[in-house]
Amino acid sequence: MRQSRFDRRELAAIYLGGALGASARVGLSEALPHGVGAWPWATFVANMVGAALLGWFVTRLGERLPPSTYRRPFLATGICGALTTFSTLQLELFKMLEGGYLPLALAYAAATIGGGFLCVHLGTVATRRARVLR
C-alpha cells in the first residue's frame, strides 16, 4: 500500500496565506457590520476582492512567473480561500429568507455570483494587460 506524503512547506504556505486572508476577512466584518435586513457588505466585498485576486494570482502564476511549489498554495488556496466565504454567504442568505427579505436575498445572491465571475475576469484581464504594457 502506498502512503501519501505531505509537503510540510506547502502546508505552511497555505496556513500562512490562510492566516492573512482570514485576518483581512475579520477586519472587514468588524469594519462593516450589518443586520439581517441590510446588505452584507463585509462578505460581499471579501468575496469580490478575493475573486479579483484569484483571477490575478492564477493568471500571473500560470502565464508570467516561473513555476513555484509554494506561490499558488500561499496566494490562491491560502489568502483567497480564507478571505472569501461561501458558508457565510449561505448563512446570510438563509437569515434573509427566514426574516422575509426575499428581494434582498435574491439581489445579494445574483450580485455575488455575477460579481464574482466579473471580478475573476477583470483580475485575469488586468494581469494580461499589465504583461502587454511591459
Model pLDDT for residues 67-114, shown as the tens digit of each residue? 777 899 999 999 999 999 999 999 999 999 999 999 999 999 999 999
What does 30-80 look like in DSSP terms, one character per residue?
HHS---TTS--HHHHHHHHHHHHHHHHHHHHHHHTSPP-SSHHIIIIIIII
Mean pLDDT of the chain: 92
Grid cell for residue 31:
469594519
pLDDT attached to residue 30 = 96
- The contacts found for 42-45 with CB under 8 angstroms, 24 or more apart, are 43/85, 43/88, 43/89, 43/92, 44/108, 44/111, 44/112, 44/115
2 has a pLDDT exceeding 90:
no
* pTM (two decimals): 0.88
Is residue 15 packed enough to be buried (19+ CB in 10 Å), middle (13-18) or exposed (0-12)? middle
pLDDT attached to residue 95 = 96
Residue written as grid cell 448563512:
91
Rounded Cα–Cα distance for residues 16 and 11 (Å): 9
8 has a pLDDT exceeding 80:
yes
Across 39-49, b (16+ Cβ under 10 Å) vs e yields bbebbbebbbb
Rounded Cα–Cα distance for residues 81 and 30 (Å): 19
Grid cell for residue 20:
492573512
Supply the DSSP symbol for 99: T
